[in-house]
Chain A
Amino acid sequence: DGGITQSPKYLFRKEGQNVTLSCEQNLNHDAMYWYRQDPGQGLRLIYYSQIVNDFQKGDIAEGYSVSREKKESFPLTVTSAQKNPTAFYLCASSEGAGALKTQYFGPGTRLLVL
């Protein structure tokens, strides 16, 4: 089956700890995105990548880092600098960049702080 997978489904972070969320796609899409969703809110863009080895900051990049070494993978690291990391994190991909390109979303990772 083609699609986007995210792991883990739930992730717990201790104070001062960095954690990495995985996102993999086998849709052969060039563009990939990370969003954060807080309860009752819409999605906010953290980082996006239009092509391998290139990525750009979104609206709320502070406290997060990403890499795009392979086309199919776009991991997100939540660093200790992110003071309020508890949220639902969604990864998406599209054939190319642009609001006209349908974005396909993964199932999400819920991050909780211990």
Chain B
Amino acid sequence: LAKTTQPISMDSYEGQEVNITCSHNNIATNDYITWYQQFPSQGPRFIIQGYKTKVTNEVASLFIPADRKSSTLSLPRVSLSDTAVYYCLVGDMAGSGNTGKLIFGQGTTLQVKP
């Protein structure tokens, strides 16, 4: 599984757009990029997943350049409740012998201030 690198922490203010970038230089052809959110003392929660270009849902957008060596999670107009740890993960589709193992790095701690 490809290793990912994210900033350890980021600060923002309410109402701003936040962009968190993840580097995954060794991403494989079959790998997808997935982001999870974790609040203190809770389990992580799926946010968004993509393969290339742009994916958008009701919570966030995911931008993936053509070389796929990085990706950017974009949170529009953050609020105090978006303060959490955000994890970027890279992995491939289930297949024979695929473990489903997700590698969670340290993630990015986002602090939203009033």
For B, the interface residue count at a CB cutoff of 8 angstroms equals 29
For A, the interface residue count at a CB cutoff of 8 angstroms equals 33
Q: Is the interface of A mostly helix, strand, loop or mixed?
A: strand
User: What's the Cα separation between A58 and B91 when bound, in Å?
Assistant: 16
Q: How far is the CB of A79 from chain B (nearest CB, A)?
A: 22
User: What's the Cα separation between A91 and B44 when bound, in Å?
Assistant: 10
By beta carbon, the residue of chain A nearest B106 is A42
B106 close to A97 (CB less than 8 A): no
Q: How far is the CB of A102 from chain B (nearest CB, A)?
A: 5
Question: At the interface with chain A, which of B10-18, B62-70, B71-79, B94-102?
Answer: B94-102
Q: Would you list which residues of chain B between 95 and 114 have a CB under 8 Å from chain A?
A: 95, 98-107
Whether A96 is near chain B, meaning CB under 8 Å from some CB there, is: yes
A100 close to B104 (CB less than 8 A): no
A108 close to B94 (CB less than 8 A): no
B100 close to A33 (CB less than 8 A): yes
A interface residues, Cβ below 8 angstroms from B: 4, 31, 33, 35, 40-45, 48, 50, 56, 58, 88, 90-92, 94, 96-108, 110
Q: Beyond A42-B107, A103-B44: 4 further Cβ-contacts under 8 Å?
A: A33-B100, A41-B106, A42-B106, A99-B98
